[in-house]
Amino acid sequence: MLTKNSSAPLTTFAGIHVAETVISHAKQAFQNNEKQERAEELIFANQALAYQNQEKENRAHELRIANKELAYKNKEKENLAAELIIANKELAFQNEEKEKRAAELAIANKELAFQNEEKEKRAAELAIANKELVFQNNEKEKRAIELINANRLYTFLSQINQAIVHSKNEQALLNEVCRITIEVGKFELGALSFPDIAKRRLNIVTHCNALPSDIEFLNRLTYDDNGPTAQVLKTGKPYIINDYEYEPAISSSKKYALGRGFRSCILLPIRKSGKTVGAFNIFSAQTNLFDTAEVALLEEASSDISFAIDIFEKEQHRKQMRASIIQSEVRLKQAQSIAHFGGWELDLSTGKMLWSEEACRIYGVSPAKGVCTYEVWLSLTHPEDVAHVANMVKEGAGTSGSIDFSHRIVRPDGSIRHICSQAQFEFDKEGKASWLYGVAHDITEIRQAEKERLKMISDLVQRNNDLEQFSYIVSHNLRAPVANILGLVSLIKTIGIDKGEEQKVTDYLLTAAQNLDHVIMDINHILELKNNQGGKRECILLDQLLNEVKANFNNNSVQANITGNFMAEEITTVKSYLYSIFFNLISNSIRYARPGVWPEINISSVKRNNKMKLVFKDNGMGIDLEKNGKEVFGLYKRFHYHLEGKGMGLFMVKTQVELLGGKITVASKANEGATFSITFETEEAML
């Protein structure tokens, strides 16, 4: 605590305090100066930094401008590079196009050369086709001659068999055989002789078309051991002279034969009981007539005649021959087997029958069952012929005579055979028929041969019609494009024709060549169809076949009502042909439907009298048959020109139907639809 006595120290303290304050202020002022200097330095530094930042911004701005400039230049370079690439690609494309054009030009030149070669080939093929047509015509003429000759021989053999069946005795048979030889066989002279071996002379028993000089010459003619007659008697084989001019072994008769106009001759053996006893002499004005086929049929005829002579002798001496039937049984069986004759006996009082082995073979039953009844015999007869056979037996028993009739039988295995039967009644003391003796001749092969003959004639007629059709094609459908081609080629050679006209002429020439090619292709298709007839026959279900055809039309979105009504459900034939027939007839009905009328197509079938009939009926435009009836199935024939078509469909249908052995007809009126009827023979009818 301060006192008045302490005033000096207070003053001293105050001075110190002031000094400290001054120092403090001085320090503060110094510090402020320092801060100001630092602030100024800081401001200066900030200004420098701001300047630097400004410079950096300027540099950055310049750098950005430079980068943009560089990016722009790079973009330009990229654009130039892309343009250069595009230009290179365009150049490459142009080079490639030039190469393609060059290649196309080379191909066009090759194609033109190829077309020229093809035209030359077509011309060569046409020439070959014409040669082939000429060859076919020659072949048809040869076949026609062969057919006429075959028809003559088969008719001759058939007439001989009929004479055997209907002749009452040996002499009547021999007279009839000679007549048939001249009138049916178309030979110049027929003479049958039984030589006198002791006197070496010919005894003429019958002849036909012989002049008095012929009879005189033959009756005084002697024969030696090496002559034709002796050879026939020794060997039992025919002796053939195909040209008298070059036959040294018959000098005795050669001069007379040539003077008479005979150029060839055949001597056929006539046998009795297996022994050659005579000769059947047949003379012809043709050389080389007796070929293998002719000789075979003539030998068959002589065998039949010999067998018939045996039958006559057996009938005359039947009672005497019963005692020796065991010794002749083998010979009889052989003769029956060769001639296809089977013997049988019917006891009319008991109804029991006795059959020979050949008869059993003909009827297809075991020889162990050779004894049977009349009822069993009728049961083997075809159902449609039973009444006829029973009536023949009944009528024959009442007329006290013989009977002969033809009928069919059905063997146990189901096969059908044709039989020619001849029988003789035996009567008791009261005049009542007690026995019936008969022979059955299996003539199935003869019937088939007759059918083949008729079929050959029908085929010949059809081939002639086809030939006329192809002649029409050659003279019309081929001539027109050929004439156009010749005319156009002549026009091209004309001096002064310009390029435009030349191009038109070339186009017309191409069209004419294409038309010619189409006709040739159609002809090839038809010939291929006719030459390819060996298709496999199979059983076809008609409902199933129709469904297959309808499926084809459904795939093509065809609208029509197609129905089937098959009373006969199946047929055995070539499926591909029948399918084509269905397809073409149905497509024709659809194509030629009446405008505004829904197409209705019905296919039906029926089997009657061993024939299958297919009927295709529609409600389309129909055909005016009064105007176009003869041309309905013609090639390239059309009746509705407002619709597209070639006129091939119905021609192909008819061709395929005929290749299958059928016939087709049409019934139609304009705007009332059409009905096509196709008839085929069934398997039973072909037997």
Over residues 572-603, the pLDDT tens digits come to 888 888 888 898 888 888 888 888 888 999 99
| pLDDT recorded at residue 135 | 78
| pLDDT recorded at residue 601 | 92
Least confident of 254-258, 317-321, 450-454: 317-321
Q: Where are the beta strands (DSSP E) in 464-610?
A: 537-541, 561-566, 570-574, 600-608
What mean pLDDT comes out for the span 225-236? 82
What mean pLDDT comes out for the span 152-181? 83
| pLDDT recorded at residue 541 | 92
| pLDDT recorded at residue 470 | 58
| pLDDT recorded at residue 153 | 74
Share of the chain above pLDDT 70, in %: 76
| pLDDT recorded at residue 589 | 87
pLDDT of 97 strictly over 90: no
658 CB-side CA count, 13 A: 20
| pLDDT recorded at residue 337 | 52
| pLDDT recorded at residue 312 | 78
| pLDDT recorded at residue 526 | 56
Q: In angstroms, rounded to a whole number, what is the distance separating the alpha carbons of residues 411 and 381? A: 9
| pLDDT recorded at residue 655 | 83
Q: In angstroms, rounded to a whole number, what is the distance separating the alpha carbons of residues 568 and 613? A: 9
What mean pLDDT comes out for the span 370-397? 81
pLDDT of 686 strictly over 80: no
For residue 283, give both structure tokens: 């003379």
Mean model confidence pLDDT for the chain: 77
| pLDDT recorded at residue 551 | 81
Residue 383 or 201, more confident: 383
Dump pLDDT digits (tens) for 99-150: 888 888 888 888 888 888 888 888 788 788 778 777 777 777 767 666 677 6
- Report for 302-311, 460-469, 539-548, 654-663: range of highest mean pLDDT: 539-548
Least confident of 191-195, 264-268, 305-309, 357-361: 357-361
| pLDDT recorded at residue 647 | 56
Q: In angstroms, rounded to a whole number, what is the distance separating the alpha carbons of residues 197 and 224? A: 10
Q: In angstroms, rounded to a whole number, what is the distance separating the alpha carbons of residues 219 and 443? A: 38
pLDDT of 646 strictly over 60: no
Q: How confident is the model at residue 2 (pLDDT cuts 50, 70, 90)?
A: very low
Q: In angstroms, rounded to a whole number, what is the distance separating the alpha carbons of residues 683 and 687? A: 7
Neighbours of 109 (CB within 10 A): 10
pLDDT of 64 strictly over 80: yes
Asked if residues 229 and 279 have their Cβ atoms less than 8 Å apart, the reply is yes
Sequence letter at residue 106: A
Q: In angstroms, rounded to a whole number, what is the distance separating the alpha carbons of residues 457 and 247? A: 36
| pLDDT recorded at residue 199 | 74
| pLDDT recorded at residue 3 | 44
Q: How confident is the model at residue 675 (pLDDT cuts 50, 70, 90)?
A: very high
Residue 159 or 315, more confident: 159
Dump pLDDT digits (tens) for 183-223: 888 888 888 888 777 777 778 888 888 888 888 877 776 77
Q: In angstroms, rounded to a whole number, what is the distance separating the alpha carbons of residues 187 and 268? A: 14
pLDDT of 518 strictly over 70: no
For residue 208, give both structure tokens: 């036909």
Domains of the chain (ranges; CATH) run: 162-316 (3.30.450.40), 341-442 (3.30.450.20), 533-687 (3.30.565.10)
What mean pLDDT comes out for the span 475-480? 55
pLDDT of 354 strictly over 90: no
| pLDDT recorded at residue 677 | 93
Asked if residues 440 and 359 have their Cβ atoms less than 8 Å apart, the reply is yes
What mean pLDDT comes out for the span 213-239? 80
Share of the chain above pLDDT 90, in %: 4
Q: How confident is the model at residue 613 (pLDDT cuts 50, 70, 90)?
A: very high
| pLDDT recorded at residue 1 | 41
pLDDT of 463 strictly over 70: no
Secondary structure of residue 384 in the 3-state scheme: coil
